[in-house]
Amino acid sequence: MTAYAGVEDLKLALHKQRATPEEEVVMQRCLDAAAAEIDAFLDRVDPLPDPAPAEVTETNISRAVEWFKASDAAYGMVGFQDIGVLKAPVDGFNRHAADIGHLKQQWGVA
């Protein structure tokens, strides 16, 4: 399994011009975790084209941002000096699924 975006893409999304080597390892891990969620949701018989569709790449980056910032969300809250405290999203991957659902190939029967 390979992430659909790179560490440089994630750095841009996080507005980080520089990152330590340790942070880059964590960023790659977040991208890989997000890609695993994408692959599990899509449940494809055929692999995605290479390069992956833009919506998959963007979903990989967006979800990796959430993974990376998760440690900052103590008690489910993220503080912002200018706007107050925001509640962290609790639906996990579900809101990203809408962006890539048209690429899903298999739908389980309950």
Over residues 51-84, the pLDDT tens digits come to: 999 999 999 999 999 888 877 665 555 555 555 5
Q: Label residues 31-48 b or e (16+ Cβ within 10 Å = b).
A: bbbbbebbbebbeeeeee
- pLDDT of res. 29: 94
Distance of alpha carbon 1 from alpha carbon 6, whole angstroms: 13
- pLDDT of res. 92: 76
- pLDDT of res. 36: 93
pTM of the model: 0.76
- pLDDT of res. 23: 94
